[in-house]
Amino acid sequence: MDSLQSQCIFILQEAWKLSGNEPKVEPGWCAELRGIINHKSVYSGGLGSHCVHRMRLVWKSLDKMRCLRKRATIPFLGFLITFLLFLNLYMEDGYVLEGNKRQLREASAHPPSSERYVHTFRDLSNFSGTINVTYRYLAGTPLNRKKYLTIGLASVKRKRGNYLLETIKSIFDQSSYEELKEIVVVVHLADFDLVWCENQVQEITRKFAHHIIAGRLLVIQAPEEYYPSLDGLKRNYNDPEDRVRFRSKQNVDYAFLLNFCTNLSHFYMMLEDDVRCSRNFLTALKKVITSREGTYWVMLEFSKLGYIGKLYHSRDLPRLAHFLLMFYQEMPCDWLLIHFRGLLAQKDVIRFKPSLFQHMGYYSSYKGAENKLKDDDFEEDSIDIPDNPPASLYTNINVFENYDATKAYSTVDEYFWGKPPSTGDFFVIVFNKPIKISKIRIATGSDDRQNDLLHHGVLEVGEKLVGTKKGKQCSSFITLGEFKKGKIEVQDVDHKIAFDIECVRIVVTGNQKEWLIIRSISLWTTQPPSQ
C-alpha cells in the first residue's frame, strides 16, 4: 500500500513541476483524495499498479501538450486521479461480488444441517489434539494418576437382549486385585433415550458401586448436539438407510469414546458391550506388549471378531477419533480401523492366539437381529501365554520370501520358513538383557506342511555374549535336550541352569531334504535376579 501511495505522490509532484508552481488545493479535497488512495480494495491486486502505470502515461502526454494552460493542469490531474481510482474500485467490487457468488454456490452444495458439524470438526486441522466435547459424567470421575490400560465400551438400547452389565461383570471378575489397580473401564451410553440411560446408570451404580468409588469405572455420555447429521447419508454398499444411519452413528459413538479416553492410561482396549473375557487377560496383554518392545505397531488384535479386543497406544487415540469422524458415513468401524492401521504403516494384521475376548451376545444391537458369531480361538483360561522377552534373532538358514526369523518368536499366528537346513546350521535368540527362564517350548512344522519340521536338532542356552561380524553371539552354550518329532519342551530351566541366560539356540544336527518351519518359540521367565 505504501508503495502505491508514494508513486501517486510522485506523479503529483511531477505534475506540479510541469505547471511551474505549486497549486493551492482546498484541505477538504486533500482529505477526500487521501481517503480514496487509502481505500483497501485499491491495493488488493494488480489493478492498483496498473492505474499508476496509466497515470504516468497520461503525464508524459501532458508534458508534450504545451498548448494546455499550466493553471488547468492541477484541476485536470485531480479529476483524472479521482476517475481512475473510482474505476479501479468498481472493477475490484466486481471481483468481490463474483467471489461472493462463488462462495454462495459452494455453500449451497452442502446440506442445511452442516451447522451441526461445528462442534465435531472445529479442531480437525489438529489431528494430535482432542476434540472439544463437553461430556456428561453419569457415574464416577477420572483419577489424576494414569493407569496402564483403559477399556472402552459404547452401548445403546437394544430391541432384544442387554449384555452390558454382564460384560462389565466379566471384566472385573476375570481380573485379580493387582490387575484391577491398573485398569479403568469407561462406558459410553450413546443412546439419545435419556430414560433408558438413567435406568442403566441406576443398575450400574447399584451393582458396581465399589468400582465406581475406587475410580475403576466411569459412565459418560456425549450430548446429541455434538453429533453430525445422521440424515440423508451416503448409501454405500447398497445398505438400507436405517443400516447406514446405525453404522454411521456407531462410528461417532466410538470416536467420542476414544476422544474421552485419550489421557487416562498408556494403552487403550476397545471392546463391545456383549463380550466375555478370559481369566487374567491384563497379565496376558502385558506379556504381549513387553514382547513387542522395540517393534513398531499401531493395533494389536486379541480377537478376530468386529471391534472386539483391539489394542492401541493411547497417544494414537486422537488421530483415530478424528479419522472415524471424517469417514463416519463411509463404512462400518471395523473396516475403517483396517484403513487407519494401514495409513500409519502397519500393513499386516498382528493378531494373537488364544483370543482373550469372546462375543457372547445372541441378539445384535441393530434391529435385534440374531448374531451367533463366536471366536473359535478363545480360551477362558489363557494365562499361560509366554513372556518372550525382547530379543534379536539370527539364522544362517536360507529364509524363504518374508517368512523371517522374528515370525517364529512372535505369539502372532505366523511362522519362520526356511529352505532345507544342513548339519551345523543354527537359529539363535539373543536377549536384550540376561534373564532367568523357567520353561521353553518350541514347535516346528505346521498342520498343512507336517513334514517341514526339524528332523534332527538340539536346544541350547548360552552366556558370555560377544560381538562378531554377524552380530552378537554367546561364546558358551549348554545343551538342554533333543527335538522329538519336531518338538521340544523343557521345564524348570532355572533349576537346571545356574547362570542368567543371554542366548537360546537351535542347532541342526543332521541334513534334511525337507524345508523347515519353526511355528512357535515360547519362553516363560521368572522374576529377574536381585541386583
Which grid cell sits at 331?
463404512
- With beta carbons less than 8 A apart as the criterion, state whether 204 and 187 touch: yes
Contacts of 322 (CB under 8 A, 6+ apart): 124, 127, 131, 255
Number of neighbouring beta carbons within 10 Å of residue 155: 25
- With beta carbons less than 8 A apart as the criterion, state whether 501 and 524 touch: no
| φ, ψ dihedrals at 403, nearest 5° | -85, 60
Report the CATH fold assignment for 136-359: Spore Coat Polysaccharide Biosynthesis Protein SpsA; Chain A (3.90.550)
Please give the single-letter amino acid code of residue 92: E
Provide the 8-state DSSP code for 41. Answer: G
Provide the 8-state DSSP code for 189. Answer: E
Domain edges within the chain: 136-359, 391-525
- Rounded to two decimals, what is the model's pTM? 0.59
Which grid cell sits at 16?
506540479
- At 438 the three-state DSSP class reads strand
- With beta carbons less than 8 A apart as the criterion, state whether 279 and 174 touch: yes
Domain at 391-525, CATH class: mainly beta
Whose grid coordinates read 438400507?
240
Could you tell me which of 48, 47, 56 has the C-alpha nearest to residue 10? 56
Distance CA 187, CA 165 (A): 11
Sheet holding 217-221, edge to edge: 136-139, 217-221, 183-189, 147-155, 265-270, 310-313, 299-301
| φ, ψ dihedrals at 365, nearest 5° | -75, -10
What pLDDT is attached to residue 152?
Answer: 95
CA distances from 42 to 9, 81, 99, 108 (A): 15, 12, 17, 30
CA angle at 280 for the pair 271 and 310, rounded to the nearest 5°: 25
Could you tell me which of 282, 251, 66 has the C-alpha nearest to residue 156? 251
Strand pairing of 426-435 and 501-508?
Answer: antiparallel
CA distances from 75 to 23, 82, 353 (A): 9, 11, 93
- At 268 the three-state DSSP class reads strand
- At 52 the three-state DSSP class reads helix
Q: What is the residue-level pLDDT of the chain in tens, covering all 531 positions?
A: 444 445 555 555 555 554 454 444 444 444 444 444 444 444 444 444 554 455 555 445 545 544 444 455 555 656 656 555 554 544 444 443 444 444 434 433 433 333 444 344 444 445 567 788 899 999 998 888 899 999 999 999 877 667 899 999 999 999 999 999 999 999 999 999 999 999 999 999 999 999 999 999 999 999 999 998 887 777 776 777 778 888 889 999 999 999 999 999 999 999 988 888 888 899 889 888 887 888 899 999 988 777 789 999 999 999 999 999 888 888 888 888 888 988 898 988 888 877 888 877 544 444 444 445 655 555 556 556 778 888 889 899 999 988 888 888 876 667 899 999 999 999 999 998 899 999 999 999 988 888 999 999 999 999 988 877 667 889 899 999 999 999 999 999 999 998 999 999 999 999 999 999 999 898 988 854 333
Whose grid coordinates read 483415530?
320
Q: Quick one: angle between helices 194-207 and 164-173, nearest 10?
A: 30
